[in-house]
Amino acid sequence: MKRFLLPIALLVALNGHAQRVDSLALTPPMGWNTYNTFAGNFNEELLREMVDLLVSSGMKDAGYAYVIVDDNWTGPRDSLGFLTVDAKRFPSGLKALSEYIHAKGLKLGLYSDAGYKTCGGYTASRGHEFQDALMFARLGADYLKYDWCNAEGINAVGAYTTMRDALLAAKRPMVFSMCEWGNNKPWLWGAGIGHLWRTTGDITACWDCIDDHGGKYNSYGVMQILDMQEGLRAYAGPGHWNDPDMLEVGNGTLTVSESRAHFSLWCMLAAPLIAGNDLRTMSKTTLEILTNKEAVAIDQDSLGIQGFRQTNADSLEIWYKPLKGGDWAVCFVNRGSKAATIGHDWKKNVIRDDLSKRELNCAQQRYVLRDLWKKKKVGVTSDVLESTIGSHDVLMLRLMK
């Protein structure tokens, strides 16, 4: 399909920050990535199976467009300095997989790193950015995740700008995902360079934990990652997104309610929705969470405003997200270990959002409440909302005029 692309090199000012101008990520990217489940244990046969399942399961129809081959796919450089592809993993070649992905109506994502070696110890892009970008383009890549391992002594802004320029020179439109872990506050400068930037270290599949990897680095549970997003929403918007890392829905120790809450909150954050579960063994409930089109619509809302936490009391939080057309998304989150009963008087809680210049005043405007997980109307804002929310669960509503 032919793409119509505005000049990527053009930068404009938005809220005092330079911003890329193109049409590649006007809503947060959605896709599936090899890393969370398979790490380096994948090959072309497995990936073809994942591609087929993305289509047959309905995930493609729900919006999951990118199939992202993460770390461990590169081989050594050839005599001309170009990357080679690991022939054991891809005996038919990565170009053949790319063509298979595109034939299914999906898009190819690839991975590299700003250092000399990737996090897995494979060949990375430092010093070969323009060569590698050309190869990614030749392989038909539509998305590049660019990591930050083995990057000691490198200037982050310079490294990511160099790869941005290399991608432009390759003349194939690619979403540029900057996986710098938030070390250098990429939200302050990333909008002029990439389409999304990681705000934290790696996520792990637990509700509220810190996984210490022998003192080398930490991975963080869903609630840990959520709290690290405080204060960042002003930097996100169409074409430039905060990235709190990939989804762990259906993975690890997360329960069904925790997976539902995790997904709901990433939608409220206008976060990229990059699944990372094993599609071969995915439960019906996990699929229902990932393909809830009404929840996805909150994430993909074209107004592009990241949600915010307004209330936090006794382990119960209330998050708000203004939507295009005057609707609002509201998510009640029970972080506690016991069920929570709420009695929320909409008319007594006027919400003003300075970022979007929007106000939710239910004393002046009546809204219909739609429960996005029960998928039905559950009342109006002229009445007090009474509900019980289970431990580590959510009540996610769309307030409709």
CB atoms within 10 A of CB 143: 28
d(C-alpha 371, C-alpha 295), whole Å: 10
Element (H, E) at 197: strand 196-198
Strands (E), 249-357: 273-275, 308-313, 316-322, 328-334, 340-344, 351-353
117 DSSP assignment? B
23 DSSP assignment? S
Tokens of 78: 């050839």
CB atoms within 10 A of CB 12: 11
147: annotated active-site residue: yes
Provide the β-strand partners of residue 12: 19
Instruction: Tell me which amino acid residue 317 is.
Output: E
Answer whether 165's CB lies under 8 Å from 8's CB.
no
Closest CA to 111 of 100, 102, 119: 119
Instruction: Tell me which amino acid residue 383 is.
Output: D
Answer whether 22's CB lies under 8 Å from 6's CB.
yes
Strands (E), 226-353: 241-243, 273-275, 308-313, 316-322, 328-334, 340-344, 351-353
188 DSSP assignment? G
Q: Alpha helix (H) ranges present in 57-143?
A: 59-62, 94-103, 129-138
Tokens of 395: 């009540």
Question: Residue 9 — φ and ψ, nearest 5°?
Answer: -70, -15
Instruction: Tell me which amino acid residue 294 is.
Output: E
In the set 86, 142, 202, 301, the catalytic residue is 202
202: annotated active-site residue: yes
Tokens of 320: 């708000």
CB atoms within 10 A of CB 296: 21
Find all residues with CB under 8 Å of 88, minimum gap 6, and list them.
Answer: 43
In the set 147, 245, 299, 393, the catalytic residue is 147
Angle at CA of residue 157, ends 240 and 200, nearest 5°: 60
Active-site positions read 147, 202
